Structure 1
Amino acid sequence: MRSIFFVVLFSGLLSSAHAQTKKPATKAAQPAAAVMERGKTVYTSICLACHQVDGSGVPHLNPPLTPNEWVAGPKPRLVQLVLNGSQGKVEIDGDTWSNAMPAMSHLTDQQIADVLTYVRNSFGNKAAAVTPTEVKAQRGKK
């Protein structure tokens, strides 16, 4: 009986020690309120006319910014899209969008980072923030 007690006690201690060494699940950090506010300002003044208030876009002309492979996908690709614009057709999740998007390279690295962070965390999206350093790294690349 005594050996059973020690086995139970020992396994409880091991379980407790293991639980303490487990790392807590990491949650994507929420962007700072100031970043989201600045991003919303850029979105409202530049992007809203084509992509709409709710990010739904215009069918077959301007793509939606609701969750899709472009918005939540690789940040460099999205930064390049904003810097260089797009010509011709773009396919997103099986649908084709044909309206050209002008290059927005006149925006600062901060403005592009803010607006992309805003888009990646609005309209049902939850994706990592874009930093000005990441935008700067993409300038001049094609």
Structure 2
Amino acid sequence: MVGAQTPVKKATKPSQASPTINGKAVYTQYCMPCHQIDGSGVMNMNPPLIKTTYVLGDQTRLINILLKGYNKGVVIDEDEYTNPMPSFSYLSDTQIAAVLTYVRNNFQNKASAITAAQVKKVRSSK
């Protein structure tokens, strides 16, 4: 048809990635070198993330570990892990919430999500 115009599609906003996808990306970049691809950790150095009370328990404690780091030995299933964990306070509240939600719902874990609002509250209560 002469003079007919092709309909123009409206631009759509890109969909926001789910926390699981963002969390996996954050985990891969910052956590995997120490805690391994499967969350199993490194014997006597970096603790596993599989079904531990640190991962599945108190959310505030877990958020604080990422915000402040952890420089104490920890015993999990009768094995001691002594490698210090650095602070990841430079990550955004959203990144921390995403990675913690990812860890709490992978590696055989099933636990509630952690929100950016929770991280923000813990961060501001220093």
Shared topology, TM-score over 0.5?
A: yes
1:126 aligns to 2:110 (yes or no): yes
CA distance in 1, matches of 2:113, 2:86: 23
Corresponding residue SS for 2:22: helix
CA contact (8 A) 1:69 1:93 kept: no
Higher helix share: 1
* RMSD (CA atoms): 1.3
Q: How does 1:75-114 map to 2 (within 5 A)?
A: 75-114=59-98
Picking from 33, 48, 54, the partner of 1:49 is: 33
User: For residue 8 of structure 1, what is the aligned residue in structure 2?
Assistant: none
Unaligned runs of 5+ in 2: 1-16
After TM superposition, where is structure 1 displaced by more than 4 Å over at least 4 residues in a row?
A: none
User: For residue 62 of structure 1, what is the aligned residue in structure 2?
Assistant: 46
Cα distance, 1:72 vs. partner? 0.4
Q: Identity rate of aligned residues, in percent? A: 50
User: For residue 73 of structure 1, what is the aligned residue in structure 2?
Assistant: 57
TM-score w.r.t. the length of structure 2 is: 0.83
Cα distance, 1:96 vs. partner? 1.5
CA distance in 1, matches of 2:121, 2:75: 26
Picking from 114, 121, 125, the partner of 1:137 is: 121
Cα distance, 1:90 vs. partner? 1.8
CA distance in 1, matches of 2:66, 2:78: 21
Cα distance, 1:93 vs. partner? 3.8
Cα distance, 1:94 vs. partner? 3.3
Aligned residues: 110
Instruction: State which structure, 1 or 2, has the greater radius of gyration over its C-alpha atoms.
Output: 1
CA contact (8 A) 1:60 1:97 kept: yes
Cα distance, 1:42 vs. partner? 0.1
Cα distance, 1:140 vs. partner? 4.2
TM-score w.r.t. the length of structure 1 is: 0.74
